[in-house]
């Protein structure tokens, strides 16, 4: 499949978040391709978005990559135990990003399964298959994405995103998850997911 061009990422994060649904996230690790279809994403609109790490132009070592060119990975550690992966969007010095929140596993299934459960894929229960990558922390474990991927160029050959299939789907929008601190931004409908996809993290919200 064809990699998404830099221009895909050089738009506002709301547009990119919606357009990322159905695309394939690929991580090449240990000589194998791990692939998941993006089924859920959240837009973080940067300087004026109280939910964003870059709110009010907060520029620190952690958020630095968000101020650079679009199409790079912003990975951060959350709660001391999980990583979350974002795609940097918009132009330089406009620190927007899209959080990848859930994947439908596509290939490298055994590798993903071993990373999450130390078991082969065909030994998993149904619930474990659903839970392989249906959350921002889980998908990073399954895909082997960690802080060493901070700043990775998504137009490169290690961590990238490709075009999806021709399937049609409807997009649902809702409030973003776990940003209760964000005052009025709590209610912005900037979470997007594929309707009726079983790998979405919290379909009901």
Partner DNA sequence: GTATGGATTGTC
Partner DNA sequence: ACAATCCATACT
Nearer to DNA, 26 or 75 (CB): 75
CB of 99 to DNA, least distance (A): 3
Residue ranges that bind DNA, judged by CB under 7 A: 42, 44, 51-54, 58, 60-63, 74, 76-82, 84, 86, 97, 99, 116, 131, 135-139, 176-179, 181, 201
CB of 22 to DNA, least distance (A): 20
Nearest-angstrom CA–CA distance, 197 and 41: 13
Tokens of 98: 């899209």
CB of 66 to DNA, least distance (A): 7
Nearer to DNA, 29 or 84 (CB): 84
Nearer to DNA, 139 or 154 (CB): 139
Q: What number of other Cβ atoms are within 10 A of residue 147's Cβ?
A: 11
Composition of the chain by helix, strand, coil, percent to 5: 25, 30, 45
Q: What number of other Cβ atoms are within 10 A of residue 62's Cβ?
A: 15
CB of 2 to DNA, least distance (A): 26
User: CA separation (Å) from 141 to 51, 73, 130, 145?
Assistant: 24, 16, 14, 6
- DSSP class of 3: B
Nearer to DNA, 95 or 170 (CB): 95
Q: How many CA atoms lie within 13 A of 22 on its CB side?
A: 15
CB of 92 to DNA, least distance (A): 17
Nearer to DNA, 58 or 120 (CB): 58
Tokens of 57: 């132009």
CB of 28 to DNA, least distance (A): 22
The answer for 102, left when phi > 0, alpha when psi is -120 to 50, beta otherwise, is beta
Nearer to DNA, 78 or 171 (CB): 78
- Spell 108-118 as b/e; 16+ CB within 10 A means b: bbebbbebbbe
């Amino acid at each position: 499949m064809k990699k998404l061009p830099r221009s895909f990422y050089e738009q506002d994060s709301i547009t990119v978040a919606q357009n990322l649904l159905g695309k394939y996230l690929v991580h090449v690790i240990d000589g194998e391709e791990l692939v998941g279809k993006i089924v859920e994403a959240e837009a973080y609109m940067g300087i004026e978005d109280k939910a964003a790490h870059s709110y009010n132009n907060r520029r620190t070592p952690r958020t630095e990559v968000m101020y650079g060119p679009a199409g790079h990975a912003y990975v951060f550690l959350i709660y001391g135990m999980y990583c979350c992966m974002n795609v940097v969007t918009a132009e330089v010095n406009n620190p927007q990003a899209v959080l990848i929140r859930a994947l439908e596993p596509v290939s490298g299934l055994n590798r993903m399964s071993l990373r999450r459960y130390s078991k082969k894929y065909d030994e998993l229960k149904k619930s474990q298959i659903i839970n392989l990558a249906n959350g921002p922390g889980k998908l990073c474990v399954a895909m082997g994405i960690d802080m060493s991927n901070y700043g990775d160029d998504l137009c490169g050959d290690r961590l990238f995103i490709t075009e999806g299939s021709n399937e049609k789907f409807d997009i649902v929008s809702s409030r973003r998850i776990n940003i209760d601190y964000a005052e009025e931004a709590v209610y912005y409908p900037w979470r997007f997911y594929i309707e009726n996809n079983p790998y979405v993290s919290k379909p009901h919200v």
